[in-house]
């Protein structure tokens, strides 16, 4: 009885955090968390089936095992309310995600499908406007993204009941404006964060080859407005190479590179180093452009190692994203969830970003992945 009581108190505190934290300040209308109507096992649990073939990670659900894998649906909402409504649009700030999972002796595979009316494939591009090159702001020109967080070794307290809510904090930036940041509450609490980024990583090896889902983690580093190094608070890329640089000169007045020929990666809004042919940007290049022409905002890197553990490919068609991913069941990094006991369940939570750097659609829920034997 006592234990039950403590749990209720604990969850009430979490509910309060939901109201006052992530969806709270900065939002014009604080979002009211929707009570979870006694969820069935199926709504909360994703069963990974055995993959009968190694899938092509191509963003198409053409493999036979995907047709028979059970689906789990989850609703992400409140996208417009975050960070003063600066992004995470979707229709009414909400989208429904259908998920499937499969595995073989080596890998886990996942399939996500969700509605997004816009294929947001530019990220701060340079655009010729009125004869001048203008760097578009992230507020209006950003990529689509998807994130999934896993509780590494169940280190993060209350994540398995409440999901990312426990990591969401309201802080104040240098100008005194409220900002929302993620970090875990205690040292040693670590989440594995898989972050798919359409522009920067989907076409890294060409239009028809798998790209990456950026492999990151979240720890307890707190946001301190006086310390620029804590801008990302608890969010970090897995140790290794940085996945991109901005295509700007040091004084930020012009692009650094332009394509020399067609964009071989398939997306004209990103230059992939080592794949696309490029030449330095010069003022003369503008004479070859016409009004509305663009120069990519980011230069993406074909990274390897710890931050490159997850293969992914997203394809947008008719207002729906289909994203297929693959990761080894086990890696050697302590920044990664290890699916090393297939009899266990693994808690995760999902968020989606529509043309948005920070604001995202999310849920105040957590789900469990189990492996069907
Ligand atoms: Ca979009
Ligand atoms: Ca990793
Ligand atoms: Ca990781």
Q: Are 335 and 58 in contact, with CB atoms under 8 Å apart?
A: no
Nearby residues of 274 by Cβ (< 8 Å), 6 or more positions away: 301, 302
Instruction: Determine the distance separating the centroid of ligand 1 and the alpha carbon of 90, expressed in angstroms.
Output: 7
Residue 311 has pLDDT above 50, yes or no: yes
| 162-170: average pLDDT | 93
pLDDT of residue 5: 39
pLDDT of residue 341: 97
Helix and strand numbers (H, E) in the chain are 5, 23
Instruction: Determine the distance separating the centroid of ligand 1 and the alpha carbon of 255, expressed in angstroms.
Output: 25
For residue 90, give the ligand nearest its CA. Answer: 1
Residue 202 has pLDDT above 60, yes or no: yes
The C-alpha R_g of the chain, in whole angstroms, comes to 21
Ligand 1 is an ion; residues with CB less than 5 A from it: 116, 118, 120, 144, 354-355
pLDDT of residue 89: 80
pLDDT digits (tens, 9 = 90+) for 81-105: 665 555 568 888 899 999 999 999 9
Least confident of 42-51, 80-89, 345-354: 80-89
Instruction: Determine the distance separating the centroid of ligand 2 and the alpha carbon of 258, expressed in angstroms.
Output: 31
Three-state DSSP state, 356: coil
pLDDT of residue 339: 98
pLDDT of residue 21: 38
Instruction: Determine the distance separating the centroid of ligand 3 and the alpha carbon of 328, expressed in angstroms.
Output: 12
Token couple for 359: 């604001």
Instruction: Determine the distance separating the centroid of ligand 3 and the alpha carbon of 193, expressed in angstroms.
Output: 6
Instruction: Determine the distance separating the centroid of ligand 1 and the alpha carbon of 76, expressed in angstroms.
Output: 14
Q: How far apart are CA 337 and CA 314, in angstroms?
A: 22
The alpha-helical segments, DSSP class H, found in the chain are 2-20, 41-44, 64-68, 159-162, 198-201
CB-based burial label for 232 (10 Å; 0-12, 13-18, 19+):
middle
For residue 320, give the ligand nearest its CA. Answer: 1
Domains contained in the chain, number: 1
Instruction: Determine the distance separating the centroid of ligand 2 and the alpha carbon of 199, expressed in angstroms.
Output: 20
Instruction: Determine the distance separating the centroid of ligand 3 and the alpha carbon of 338, expressed in angstroms.
Output: 10
Instruction: Determine the distance separating the centroid of ligand 2 and the alpha carbon of 66, expressed in angstroms.
Output: 25
**Across the chain, what does the average pLDDT equal?**
89
Instruction: Determine the distance separating the centroid of ligand 1 and the alpha carbon of 271, expressed in angstroms.
Output: 20
Count of residues for the chain? Answer: 373
| 140-146: average pLDDT | 95
CB-based burial label for 218 (10 Å; 0-12, 13-18, 19+):
buried
Read out DSSP for 33-65?
A: PPP-----HHHHEEEEEEPSSPPP-SS---SHH
Place 25 in a pLDDT band, splitting at 50, 70 and 90.
Answer: very low
For residue 123, give the ligand nearest its CA. Answer: 1
pTM of the model: 0.88
Residue 9 has pLDDT above 50, yes or no: no
Instruction: Determine the distance separating the centroid of ligand 2 and the alpha carbon of 113, expressed in angstroms.
Output: 24
Instruction: Look up the CATH number of the domain holding residue 49.
Output: 2.60.40.1190
> Would strands 271-272 and 298-300 be described as parallel, antiparallel, or unpaired?
parallel
Q: Domain of 212? A: 2-371
For residue 335, give the ligand nearest its CA. Answer: 3
Q: Measure Cα distances from 14 to 150, 184, 284, 316, 334 in Å.
A: 19, 14, 58, 35, 28
Task: Kindly list the strands in the beta sheet with 126-129, ordered across the sheet, starting from the edge strand earlier in the chain.
Answer: 132-135, 126-129, 294-295
pLDDT of residue 331: 98
Q: Are 271 and 244 in contact, with CB atoms under 8 Å apart?
A: no
pLDDT of residue 116: 96
Token couple for 19: 């109201």
Ligand 3 is an ion; residues with CB less than 5 A from it: 192, 215, 217, 238, 335-336
């Amino acid at each position: 009885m006592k234990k039950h009581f403590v749990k209720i108190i604990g969850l009430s505190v979490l509910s309060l955090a939901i109201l006052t934290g992530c969806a709270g300040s900065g939002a014009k209308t604080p979002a009211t968390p929707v009570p979870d109507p006694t969820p069935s096992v199926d709504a909360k649990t994703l069963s990974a089936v055995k993959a009968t073939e190694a899938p092509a990670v191509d963003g198409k659900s053409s493999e036979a095992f995907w047709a028979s894998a059970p689906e789990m649906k989850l609703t992400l909402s409140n996208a417009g309310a975050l960070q003063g409504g600066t992004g995470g649009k979707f229709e009414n700030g909400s989208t429904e995600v259908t998920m499937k999972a499969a595995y073989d002796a080596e890998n886990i595979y996942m399939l996500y499908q969700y509605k997004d009316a816009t294929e947001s494939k530019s990220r701060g591009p340079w655009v010729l406007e009125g004869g001048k090159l203008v760097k578009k702001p992230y507020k209006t020109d950003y990529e689509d993204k998807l994130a999934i967080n896993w509780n590494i070794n169940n280190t993060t307290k209350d994540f398995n009941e409440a999901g990312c809510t426990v990591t969401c904090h309201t802080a104040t930036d240098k100008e005194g404006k409220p900002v929302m940041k993620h970090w875990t509450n205690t040292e040693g609490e670590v989440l594995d964060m898989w972050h798919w980024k359409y522009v920067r990583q989907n076409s890294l090896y060409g239009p028809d080859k798998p790209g990456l889902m950026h492999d990151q983690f979240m720890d307890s580093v707190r946001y301190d407005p006086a310390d620029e190094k804590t801008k990302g608070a608890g969010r970090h890329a897995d140790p290794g190479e940085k996945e991109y640089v901005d295509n700007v000169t040091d004084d930020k007045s012009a692009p650094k590179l332009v394509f020399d020929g067609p964009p071989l990666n398939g997306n004209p809004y990103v230059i992939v180093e080592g794949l696309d042919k490029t030449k330095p940007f010069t003022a003369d290049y503008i004479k070859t452009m016409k009004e509305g022409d663009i120069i990519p905002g980011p230069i993406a890197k074909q990274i390897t190692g710890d931050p490159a553990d997850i293969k992914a490919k997203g394809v947008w068609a008719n207002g729906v994203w289909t994203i297929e991913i693959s990761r080894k069941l086990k890696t050697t990094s302590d920044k990664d969830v290890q699916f090393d006991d297939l009899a266990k369940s693994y808690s995760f939570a999902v968020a989606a970003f529509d043309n948005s750097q920070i604001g995202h659609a999310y849920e105040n829920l957590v789900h469990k992945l189990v492996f069907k034997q």
